[in-house]
Amino acid sequence: MNKQLWMTALVAFGVTAITIGAYELLWHKKEKVVRIEHVSGAPARSVLYTTDEHGEWVPLDFTTTAEKVVDAVVHIKSTITFGKGEDPTAGMREWFDPFREFFGDPHDNPFGPFFRFDRPKGPKGPQVRIGTGSGVIISDEGYIVTNNHVVADADDIEVTLHDNRTFKATVVGTDPSTDIAVIQIKAKELPKLSFANSDEVRVGQWVLAVGNPFGLTSTVTAGIVSAKARNINILRDQFAVESFIQTDAAINPGNSGGALVDLAGNLIGINTAIASPTGAYSGYGFAVPSNIAQKVVADLIEYGVVQRGVLGVMIRSVDGNFAKEKDLKVNTGAYVDSLLANSAAGEAGIQPGDVIVAVDDHEVKSSPELQELIARRRPGDKVRVKVNRFGKELTFDVTLRSRHGDLALMTREKSGVLQILGADLKPIDKDLARKLGIPGGVRVEKLYAGKLRKYTDMREGFIITKIDDKSVKTVEDVIKALEGKKGGVLLEGVYEDIPGTYYYAFGM
């Protein structure tokens, strides 16, 4: 019995020993075959998805869009030359003030000024002011859209493409009212971007901003559309149109004139400004919507000047408090505060106190939205305007007029003369002529890049009474006197608020 127990114990011990040995052997063997694999060149693939305009799920991938867009975004260097004795900072208040709040003081910018100054050493002589920005190629014929403030007053414009080729550019036309300009280079078969319908842009959708901030060429940043129809009061033009797309994609000095695109790489806006206490990106960027830019570009290329239809109304946005103050029946829309002379809206039947709530089936919630919708039209165009008149909705067919109250379009020939002068002109009325003791004249309403600003010290408000000793009373008289003119020109006239007769001479 004892012998049998010992045999049983011995067998049990042997089985246990064999089991433990086998376990240890297998464990160590398993440890020896474990591998840590390293995969080189792992592809960068999107892990996020979004929906397209059809509601289909698509990968959220910026690489393809960036590769498409950077080739069509250019770097622009504009140079303004000042003669001996001229102050290169003259006019800087007008140059900087509208953008100081957004770009900061150029001398305090830790990254360097948006416009840098190159002053020659040695004896005082010609001096230059150099500004840099961005532009977007929109045609394989060399047309480039940018901001007006990037190329305004420039004597020399140099464009550098993404492939580092450089070209001299000429200004096709400018529009201070929207801060859009078109320039052209002599080059063919260029990469270009197509305009998208900015009406279809939605708050929250992904966008890319492409430009040359701080001289860092071909920079791409991503963000979303934060808001639409923003009015930030940055454009100081009398007829300014502000209905910006707001984005949190990083935009900095040097991005001005660059592209804001959707994920398909189509142009939805022209980057124009930032809102920042420091002059650098802090979360808010603003772009001119493509639908406004496209219309301005088409006019500048075809006519040399923007053909802008106007309603002839003074407006303000409606909110809850204003609705209570005026006892309105709506809390959104554009309130008609007053009618201007020769008002197209007034002629159609719109009255002060009406709230414009729609234009051609497009809902109007604020003044910027109304400005944007009308800014796409030309004099002579008809629009259907819906208003709320103390709770009752009425619809009016309005034929838009020009700023001067007529229906005619400005021809390229006429606009060419005004573009050379760099001025917006308007005939004075009989009452003012009688008050000033003159038979008539044409007032210089606005000065921009051109002969008058560059070669004379004329102020806005000057009333031209004679050109080369011939009386002028209309804009057509001025154009007729200067069309085909070569050599020197002498302008004679007066100011409404300064006594005496003044003369300005320049060469055509």
- Which residues carry out catalysis? 149, 179, 256
User: Phi-psi region for residue 483, left (φ > 0), alpha (ψ -120 to 50) or beta?
Assistant: beta
Which residues, at least 6 apart from 320, have a Cβ–Cβ distance to it below 8 Å? Answer: 331
d(CA 76, CA 167): 10
Q: Are 225 and 319 in contact (CB under 8 A)?
A: no
Kindly tell me the burial class for residue 324, based on how many C-beta atoms sit within 10 Å of its own C-beta (0-12, 13-18, 19 or more): exposed
Hey, which bits of 360-399 come out as E strands? 362-363, 382-389, 392-399
Q: Are 210 and 262 in contact (CB under 8 A)?
A: no
d(CA 381, CA 385): 13
User: Phi-psi region for residue 76, left (φ > 0), alpha (ψ -120 to 50) or beta?
Assistant: beta
Q: Which helix (H) or strand (E) holds 117?
A: strand 115-118
- Closest C-alpha to 178, from 98, 261, 235: 235
Locate 51 and state its tokens: 């929906």
